Structure 1
Amino acid sequence: MTVKQRCLLSSYIYQHTCSFAALSIPPLLPLISSELSLTAANAGLLMFMVYLSTALTAPASGYFTDRVAMKFLVVFSVGLLSLGLVLLSAARDFLTLLAIALMMGVGYSVSGPLSTKMVASVFEQEMRATALGIKQTGTSSGSALASLILPSIAVVAHRHSAFIAAAGIAAAAIPIIILTYVNTINPEKAQSERYMLGAMSRGDTILFQLGSFGLGFCMFAMIAHLPLFLTADVGFSIVEAGFMLALTQFFSVLGRVGLGVLADRFFSRKRTAVLSLASIIAAVSSTVFILSVRSQTFIAAVSLAFIGFFLFGSIGVVFTIGSELFNSERVGTTSGMTYFFLALGNSFGPLVFGQLIDALGYSTAWQLYVLAVCLCAFAFIFPLISHVKPGRLFSPQL
């Protein structure tokens, strides 16, 4: 196995493990909600706390990714997530769950910058979007694994047993990640902090970050509330709802690779065009899902597959753009900033969508969801059709 293959494999396992641990909560939300009598808004608050903590600590995590040994960061992040899962298994009240979710967000914040740097340090620009897309499939496969196995464990035993099992799986991956990785990062002259701040404040960069926020918002609004919607409003069982969520995550695995290849082959100089196209297709697919879920289950499942491929699958391209803002010495820092906006959307998506569901009902809330996806497309496409001079965001410098 080559050095590149080992680094890519290690980063994938790491991303998969962190996502599996952090996203063990949504598949079990129906049981948690039933046990604690939570509203949709309160249920969404759990993932809000995870991603709010992730967003607030992501810039610091990116900073330390460029300066602290990879092995330490892996042990710290996965260990903290595993500890959080153990504590979740013992938690009996909502406030305790919220506090644990905050703690888990700190561990999860390391995964984006660190896994991106593990890949970007060894892959050239011509193959970077594909490689990062493959790495990002770990997010989808981790979520899919949690959606497939944890509800079944919880039904047979209890949600507490499901969280313990998830903690054991995550902790067991730590030595595999460390032993697989090969450190090949070459020191380069770092760009000044003033230059970085100036570049991050450009109009095209700001629009990209706002689009990243929107993608994160829409993705995790669906991850958190799709199982609740299908069980409480449509009539699915928790296992069936978990399968539908897993289906979305499975196709997002294909999307992260497919969109990465598309970005490398045809849009290497204008990668945001891929994000805009993906958002438009996701908006159409979301509309079809809303119209068909109550009467045409197969069509609804196909629509979720498209949403998984194009909406969830676009995150690899987002991290590729973030990693190409500056030289590889600062990949961790710039990826941390991108992850900040993405995770901020992740945190507010479940919370705001839950509030909309409680206030307006599922039908109106889903219509507003489609509008939000359309706004993402606008944020990504506007710099391409405006007179704003493209900056390095659209012309990779690595």
Structure 2
Amino acid sequence: MINVNIVEAKAEHSGLINPWRMLMWLLIAQLMVAFVGRSLGPLGILIGEDLSLSKAEIGLLPSALFIGQAIASIPVGFTADFIGSKPLLLILSLCLGVSFLMMTFLSNFYFVLVLVLIGGLGYGAMHPTSNRGIIYWFSQTRRGTAMGIKQMGITFGSALAGFLLLPLSVTFGWRPVLLIACVSLIITGFFAYLFYSDPVGSLKSREKSNFLFFRTSLSKMLKNKPLLLVSLSAMGLNGSQMCLNTYIVLFAYQKMGVSLFLSGILLVISEVSGSLGRIGWGVISDRLFKGRRLIILFIIASLTAVMSTIVALLPSGTPFSALIPIIIVFGFCVSGFNGIWMNIASELVPKEQTGLSSGFSITLGSMGVIFVPPTFGLMVDYTGNYTAGWLSITVIMGGVLVLLTLLTLESRKIGQSERKI
């Protein structure tokens, strides 16, 4: 096992490899993957109009992306522990970039859905790949901040998609605009491969990279009750986050009467707030709570429940200016939790199992994104309004709080270090 503090200190003092420089490339790769993968949120309304989709079908687009994520996260996380993050940064960028590029030439919804799923393999597997780099390059008391910065790439990439891709797609069409974004992602993948380095000595022996060892390692993940509980909590938070990303544009445009441009700006505001949340919650857990993470998830889930209830009760025609502060807090919470989640999932196992534990937790967490957004869309289609959908998020947050309480009790029962979670 690598002593991360020693690795980090040697890197900083040698002047050869700086952990923060490695973080920059992990952030850039994560940002560009999100820029393309999360474009389904802001572009959903235009893709839906082009392909004549219902709201439930629009909700299936991010679901397909996260089905791909669920499929890829465990095997790629396991692989990352043996081959490192460096080659995977390129492979996964190509997977997402090429599949979404091909999607721009198709008009059949089911073929598009398949390509989104394939792209999801690259999108989702980037999480355990980049998480592994954070765990090995940074110490316990810096990891929350570093992970928050890296995870900020997801929401910032999504915000850029809303800020750039939506208005450009309104003018030029979503197909050529998305195609250019995919080419940019592929180029970024090559640069990340060239300039990122894995810590020396951080890879597992290839002799253990067989199916029996994989099965044994995965069995340990399944028996890790704290890891299961935090992953199930992430399921609810992930699903709620994707509902906000997928439907905020439609909600503001159709119910509140806000222009399509300003509706897209609300998505940008939400994602920028989430980006700040991923850094902010990480800094808070490092500085105020000395590396403890679990209490942060309690706060996030509670505030998310409050904000989703407020949004559900907003009257039609609520002005844009009144929506801004609500969406800022909503996004800061429900889109800002991921860094804390990734840290907990990674810190509940030995460092040499970081890739697999991240992949395992992401796979379970992805289930929420697969099922919750289409269910939200069905509620809107069935009732003709968004109230039931937003209130369902409030109910989900209640379930998350129950799971977090069980996690607290389980951790104390087995003597889990309170400092770690």
Task: Sort the TM-score into its range (normalised by shorter chain).
Answer: over 0.9
Task: Tell me, in whole angstroms, the C-alpha distance in 1 between the residues paired with 2:291 and 2:279.
Answer: 18
The equivalent position to 2:278 in structure 1, one of 256, 261, 278, is: 256
Is residue 66 of structure 1 aligned with residue 81 of structure 2? yes
The equivalent position to 2:53 in structure 1, one of 22, 38, 43, is: 38
Q: In structure 2, do the counterparts of structure 1 residues 113 and 386 end up closer, same or farther at CA, with 3 Å as the change threshold?
A: closer
Offset from partner CA, 1:16-46 (integer Å, 9 cap, x none): 0111111111111111111222111111011
Task: Tell me, in whole angstroms, the C-alpha distance in 1 between the residues paired with 2:111 and 2:203.
Answer: 45
Letter in 2 for 1:372: I
Task: Tell me, in whole angstroms, the C-alpha distance in 1 between the residues paired with 2:405 and 2:348.
Answer: 18
Q: Do 1:24 and 1:166's aligned partners in 2 also have CA atoms closer than 8 Å? A: no
Task: Tell me, in whole angstroms, the C-alpha distance in 1 between the residues paired with 2:223 and 2:145.
Answer: 27
Q: For residue 189 of structure 1, report the CA deviation from its aligned partner.
A: 7.7
Q: For residue 296 of structure 1, report the CA deviation from its aligned partner.
A: 4.0
Offset from partner CA, 1:189-218 (integer Å, 9 cap, x none): 899864763454244332211101111111
Offset from partner CA, 1:38-90 (integer Å, 9 cap, x none): 11111101111110121122111111111224332122111111112211211
Q: Do 1:54 and 1:105's aligned partners in 2 also have CA atoms closer than 8 Å? A: yes
Q: For residue 287 of structure 1, report the CA deviation from its aligned partner.
A: 2.1
Match of 1:339 in 2: 362
Q: For residue 258 of structure 1, report the CA deviation from its aligned partner.
A: 0.9
Letter in 2 for 1:283: A
Question: Moved runs in structure 1, 4+ residues, more than 6 A?
Answer: 188-193
Q: In structure 2, do the counterparts of structure 1 residues 136 and 243 end up closer, same or farther at CA, with 3 Å as the change threshold?
A: same
Task: Tell me, in whole angstroms, the C-alpha distance in 2 between the residues paired with 1:156 and 1:221.
Answer: 26
Secondary structure of residue in 2 paired with 1:109: helix
Is residue 321 of structure 1 aligned with residue 336 of structure 2? no
Q: Do 2:85 and 2:132's aligned partners in 1 also have CA atoms closer than 8 Å? A: no
Alignment size in residue pairs: 397
Letter in 2 for 1:107: G
Q: For residue 150 of structure 1, report the CA deviation from its aligned partner.
A: 0.8
Secondary structure of residue in 2 paired with 1:30: helix
Task: Tell me, in whole angstroms, the C-alpha distance in 2 between the residues paired with 1:188 and 1:389.
Answer: 33
Which of 369-378 and 12-21 deviates more? 369-378
Q: In structure 2, do the counterparts of structure 1 residues 219 and 387 end up closer, same or farther at CA, with 3 Å as the change threshold?
A: closer
Task: Tell me, in whole angstroms, the C-alpha distance in 2 between the residues paired with 1:205 and 1:391.
Answer: 14
Match of 2:404 in 1: 380
Is residue 21 of structure 1 aligned with residue 21 of structure 2? no
Q: For residue 248 of structure 1, report the CA deviation from its aligned partner.
A: 0.5
Q: What is the Cα-based RMSD across aligned positions, in Å?
A: 2.3
Task: Tell me, in whole angstroms, the C-alpha distance in 1 between the residues paired with 2:178 and 2:202.
Answer: 41
Once the two structures are superposed, the pairs formed by residues 1-398 of structure 1 within 5 Å of their partners are: 3-187=18-202, 194=216, 197-198=219-220, 200-268=222-290, 270-292=292-314, 294-360=317-383, 361-384=385-408, 389-390=413-414, 392=416, 394-396=418-420
Q: In structure 2, do the counterparts of structure 1 residues 395 and 337 end up closer, same or farther at CA, with 3 Å as the change threshold?
A: farther
Q: In structure 2, do the counterparts of structure 1 residues 393 and 304 end up closer, same or farther at CA, with 3 Å as the change threshold?
A: farther
Q: For residue 154 of structure 1, report the CA deviation from its aligned partner.
A: 1.1
Task: Tell me, in whole angstroms, the C-alpha distance in 1 between the residues paired with 2:166 and 2:377.
Answer: 21
Offset from partner CA, 1:221-269 (integer Å, 9 cap, x none): 2211222222233222322111101101101111111110121233346
Task: Tell me, in whole angstroms, the C-alpha distance in 2 between the residues paired with 1:91 and 1:232.
Answer: 27
Q: For residue 183 of structure 1, report the CA deviation from its aligned partner.
A: 2.0
Q: In structure 2, do the counterparts of structure 1 residues 257 and 327 end up closer, same or farther at CA, with 3 Å as the change threshold?
A: same
Task: Tell me, in whole angstroms, the C-alpha distance in 1 between the residues paired with 2:391 and 2:110.
Answer: 31
Q: Do 2:84 and 2:198's aligned partners in 1 also have CA atoms closer than 8 Å? A: no
Q: For residue 387 of structure 1, report the CA deviation from its aligned partner.
A: 8.9
Task: Tell me, in whole angstroms, the C-alpha distance in 1 between the residues paired with 2:378 and 2:417.
Answer: 34
Q: In structure 2, do the counterparts of structure 1 residues 121 and 334 end up closer, same or farther at CA, with 3 Å as the change threshold?
A: same
Q: Do 2:228 and 2:361's aligned partners in 1 also have CA atoms closer than 8 Å? A: no
Letter in 2 for 1:272: L
Which of 179-188 and 346-355 deviates more? 179-188
Secondary structure of residue in 1 paired with 2:137: coil
Q: In structure 2, do the counterparts of structure 1 residues 391 and 113 end up closer, same or farther at CA, with 3 Å as the change threshold?
A: farther
Task: Tell me, in whole angstroms, the C-alpha distance in 2 between the residues paired with 1:154 and 1:388.
Answer: 52
Q: Do 2:85 and 2:130's aligned partners in 1 also have CA atoms closer than 8 Å? A: no
Q: Do 2:73 and 2:360's aligned partners in 1 also have CA atoms closer than 8 Å? A: yes
Q: Do 1:205 and 1:393's aligned partners in 2 also have CA atoms closer than 8 Å? A: no
Which of 284-293 and 32-41 deviates more? 284-293
Letter in 2 for 1:376: V
Task: Tell me, in whole angstroms, the C-alpha distance in 2 between the residues paired with 1:359 and 1:315.
Answer: 31
Task: Tell me, in whole angstroms, the C-alpha distance in 1 between the residues paired with 2:260 and 2:319.
Answer: 19
Task: Tell me, in whole angstroms, the C-alpha distance in 1 between the residues paired with 2:363 and 2:33.
Answer: 16
